[in-house]
Chain A
Amino acid sequence: MGEYRTQMKIIGDILSTTRDDLQDEDGATVTYLIRKANISHSRISTILKTLVSQGLLERGDSQGSNRYKISQSGREFLQAYNSFTKFADNFGLNI
């Protein structure tokens, strides 16, 4: 059975991918993020829209498709996310 992921974990996975695991310097395509974050297209569209509007991701156009890169705020958020994931792990909980 697959591991249940909270919304926060999915956001963490998306941001981690855009920070550490990019295909090229232009950023990650939606298809690439879907594969890496293991999430449906409809769900990732909503999340990406929110992350861009919150300034955690930057959207750019390259080769006719949207590309996503992590912003400075996104890096700070991811750092906080990683720290507090460890914090919650100590209590046997997922954030």
Chain B
Amino acid sequence: MEFLLENILNLVGFLVGLAIGIMAYIGFRNTGSPTLFRLTIAFSSISLGFFVIWSGYMLEDFVIKSGTIERGIQTVGIVIQTIGYFFIAFSHSIKSFFPKSNYFRSVGILPLFLVSTVQLEHIFRSISFILLVYGAIETMLSYRDNKNKGAISVAIGLTLLAFGEFLGWYSFVFPESILYTISMVIKIGGLIALFIPVSKIPLKRIKFDDDLDKI
């Protein structure tokens, strides 16, 4: 059951991320907007992250057959997804995300070399959680300005992804419980909520025009 849900989640994540990423890329090619470029990177990363984890499960199921996914592959997938979540949050202008002191900058990355892949997975899950919560709050706040109902759906999607990420992380405390399954169901719901408003954007008759890139 958990294996099936994990596969569904990663496939849905891959497809939703890919669809939104392609849409953002078409937008970037048509308008040259840097915001759309950042969204392209964000959703391409999210899509690739889900794809890496899905590949890991497929590899395990058909080749390795050890019963559990290779931890390193899962961690790489989560790191790539976190980069995507970072670009969503970055689009909302995170201005003081990195420490300003050079000392903290230099030692900030040090812990990453001192921990195992399991601990790395925890670290990146928690970073993803923070970025998703930030993105959800900013998106919800933007609703006050533009009254766009799609923003509510995206905010709910990001919130569900954040909550799913939190439960996924917390399930390590209770490994045999239903928490991880719930977290996957919640994340699938979040991805669907993300896609609903984007799917309503009319993209007919929009074509590429290289000359427009120069604006």
Contact = CB atoms under 8 A, between A and B. Distances in A.
B16 interface: no
Contacts, number: 101
B157 to A, nearest CB: 10
Nearest to A95: B33
Contacts of B171: none
B117 interface: no
Contacts of A51: 215
Contact of B150 (A77, A79, A86): A86
Contacts of A87: 23-24, 27, 36, 198, 201
A77 to B, nearest CB: 6
B27 A91 contact: no
Nearest to B149: A90
B201 A95 contact: no
A9 B141 CA distance: 20
Contact of B151 (A6, A79, A89): A89
Interface core residue of B33, B142, B205 (most chain A CB under 10 Å): B33
A73 B209 contact: yes
A76 B154 contact: no
B211 A55 contact: yes
| Residues of B contacting A: mostly | helix
Interface in A54-83: 54-56, 73, 76-77, 79-81, 83
Contact of A94 (B35, B153, B155, B201): B35
A92 B23 CA distance: 16
Contacts of B33: 6, 8, 84, 88, 95
Interface in B8-26: 23-24
B212 interface: yes
A80 B150 contact: no
Nearest to B213: A54
Contacts of B138: 92
Contacts of B139: 91-92
B156 to A, nearest CB: 12
A83 B154 contact: no
Interface string A31-59: 00000000000000000001100111000
Interface of A: 6, 8, 11, 50-51, 54-56, 73, 76-77, 79-81, 83-84, 86-95
Interface of B: 23-24, 27, 30-33, 35-36, 39, 88, 91-92, 138-143, 146, 148, 150-151, 153-155, 197-198, 201-203, 205-207, 209, 211-212, 214-215
30 contacts: A6-B33, A6-B35, A8-B33, A50-B215, A51-B215, A54-B212, A56-B215, A79-B205, A81-B30, A81-B31, A83-B203, A84-B30, A87-B24, A87-B27, A88-B27, A88-B35, A88-B36, A90-B148, A90-B150, A90-B197, A90-B198, A91-B88, A91-B139, A91-B151, A92-B139, A92-B155, A94-B35, A95-B31, A95-B33, A95-B35
